């Protein structure tokens, strides 16, 4: 069973990725905490590449990374690559985003979640990459109690629910991360990891 390092220190992200990659039979493990890759890219894909390549090279192992976040059209794409650092907590990030939209007059609530994935071989070369995009809208106030981050204010018109109102299976099928893994899976299945 091949081992692939997930370029994150977040056990929740590893668990989430395991769900998507289960059928490949890979053993996923967290990157060691002493390896810290600076996210200096200007796009989600650049940051995913940096993390995957840096961890793969440091450990001489296969590594997979994701970088994801929310882009709000009226805010010029913000919070974008700074989604996790937009404020100190999930609630503070939501509050800040809603305040900024109100200050603009609530004209346009179009938004999208973006998830970039990159897989690097033990030499640090990126062998596969993709970007999944889930278009939606920002709600006037949070709805639902599931999920995390911006999920309570991200609304998917096709399902008539916020991400926080969806079952885990619904979110897996419709989210930016689910879309990205679905795009990558045919190529991942062809890879022979050593």
**Active site amino acids:** 67
| Residues, the chain | 194
Structure tokens at 159: 């399902």
Evaluate whether 5 touches 59 at the Cβ level (below 8 Å).
Answer: yes
Evaluate whether 27 touches 51 at the Cβ level (below 8 Å).
Answer: no
Q: Where are the alpha helices (DSSP H) in the chain?
A: 11-21, 44-59, 90-103, 168-174, 176-190
Q: Which residues contact 110 (CB under 8 A, 6 or more apart)?
A: 72, 73, 74, 135, 137
């Amino acid at each position: 069973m091949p081992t692939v390092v997930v370029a994150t220190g977040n056990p929740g992200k590893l668990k989430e990725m395991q769900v998507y990659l289960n059928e490949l039979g890979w053993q996923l493990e967290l990157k060691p905490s002493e390896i810290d890759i600076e996210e200096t890219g200007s796009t989600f894909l650049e940051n995913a590449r940096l993390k995957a390549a840096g961890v793969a090279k440091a450990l001489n192992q296969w590594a997979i990374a994701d970088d994801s976040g929310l882009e709000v059209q009226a805010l010029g794409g913000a919070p974008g690559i700074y989604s996790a650092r937009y404020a100190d907590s999930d609630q503070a990030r939501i509050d800040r985003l809603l305040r900024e939209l109100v200050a603009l007059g609530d004209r346009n609530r179009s938004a999208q979640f973006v998830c970039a994935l990159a897989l690097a071989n033990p030499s640090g070369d990126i062998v596969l990459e993709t970007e999944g995009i889930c278009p939606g809208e920002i709600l006037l106030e949070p709805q639902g109690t599931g999920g995390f981050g911006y999920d309570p204010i991200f609304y998917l018109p096709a399902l008539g629910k916020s991400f926080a109102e969806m079952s885990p299976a619904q979110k897996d099928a419709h989210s930016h991360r689910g879309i990205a893994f679905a795009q990558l899976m045919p190529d991942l299945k062809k890879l022979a990891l050593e």
